[in-house]
Amino acid sequence: MERVVILGCSGTGKSTLARRLGAKTGLPVVHLDALFWEPGWRESDPAVFRQRVVEALAGGRWITDGIFNSKTFDLRLPQADLIVWIEQPLALRLWRVIWRALRHQGRTRPDMGPDCPEKIDLEFLKYIWNFDRKNRPRLEAAIARLAPTTPLVRLRGDREIARFLEGAAAGI
The model's pLDDT over 82-133, given as tens digits with 9 standing for 90+, comes to 999 999 999 999 999 999 999 888 888 888 888 988 988 999 999 999 999 9
CATH code given to domain 3-169: 3.40.50.300
Task: Return d(Cα 102, Cα 120) in angstroms, integer.
Answer: 9
- How does DSSP classify residue 118? B
Q: What is the pLDDT of residue 104?
A: 87
| Strand 152-156 versus strand 82-87 pairing type | parallel
Task: Return d(Cα 162, Cα 60) in angstroms, integer.
Answer: 26
Residues 6 or more apart whose Cβ sits within 8 Å of residue 38:
44, 113
Q: pTM for this structure?
A: 0.92
Asked if 82 and 1 touch (Cβ cutoff 8 Å), the reply is: yes
Q: What is the pLDDT of residue 171?
A: 60
Residue ranges of domains in the chain: 3-169
- How does DSSP classify residue 39? T
Asked if 43 and 101 touch (Cβ cutoff 8 Å), the reply is: no
Of 109, 113, 22, 111, the residue nearest 63 (C-alpha): 22
